[in-house]
Structure 1
């Protein structure tokens, strides 16, 4: 092999190795910042796409409905404890801070934090989900007399294709 080809081969292999190292460093950095989304059933039973239960100490997001009569507030601090469920098991969420205005029992929420026990999460952030049909009360009052028809319900149109 002549020296010119040898030099090109060395540069090419060095470039490929550099790109591979840079790509692996980027993937490693991203994996440290990814918060996977789980439902309470997936946390407790390990069901779902991956069938992998989260480990204690893992950062994640849990989404579900706040269980009725499960919210416990410490009157002297901002500590709140509540349970979240989907269709089966429940996960206890511990949170210190001010909850969103839309937070209430029976409401859908997403909590982001760290698992401290197999069924207990220490949340750093709680987000309340709202209905897509939400309308501020002031606007609803101004619009009295105007009938809002939900396009997702049947009966929005009669059989001939016209409005009801």
Structure 2
């Protein structure tokens, strides 16, 4: 009688472990395209990603680099104070997008140019994305409002 209960308990534990492994694998498979790592321009220059890797690039839009082509194509550079990456984007930019303002773009780094598929800009006077702020602080470029 005891061996039957013990055998049943082992079967339940094995089934639960198998279900956990399968569910973890399914979650990982579903998220494989949804994870985009953040990089600052200095990190991209130090270790350029492959042309197929999608990631987020953030920093400040470099002054004097914003050029609008015919149509919706825009060229500009993003900097973190240590390095500058040229960016090309086709589409409508956010209303608050401007030079010397924080931005994050999602896209690929192909032949030395970041080809953005999405651009996000800061939403008010004091906001800056945490990743961008950390990268700029690391380069000694950023000071929080109220600091001197």
- Do both proteins adopt the same fold according to a TM-score greater than 0.5, normalized to the shorter chain? yes
Q: Report the equivalent of 2:60.
A: 65
Deviation at 1:78, TM superposition (A): 0.6
- Given the two structures, how large is their TM-score scaled by the length of structure 1? 0.68
Cα distance change of structure 1 residues 21 and 56 upon mapping to structure 2, 3 Å threshold: same
Alignment of 1:1-164 (within 5 A): 2-46=3-47, 53-75=48-70, 77-117=71-111, 119-129=112-122, 130-132=124-126, 152=146
Partner Cα distance (2:92, 2:113) in 1: 19
Q: Secondary structure at the match of 2:33?
A: helix
Shift of 1:17: 1.3
Q: Secondary structure at the match of 2:94?
A: coil
Higher relative contact order (CA 8 A, sep 6+): 2
Larger radius of gyration: 1
**The residue matched to 2:65 in structure 1 has which SS?**
coil
Secondary structure, in 3 states, of the residue corresponding to 1:10? Answer: helix
Question: In structure 2, how many angstroms separate the alpha carbons of the residues matched to 1:86 and 1:108?
Answer: 10
Question: Which one has a larger percent helix, Structure 1 or Structure 2?
Answer: 2
In structure 1, stretches of 5+ residues that fail to align are 47-52, 134-150, 155-164
**Shift, 1:153, TM fit:** 5.8
TM-score (norm 2): 0.75
SS at 1:57 equivalent: coil
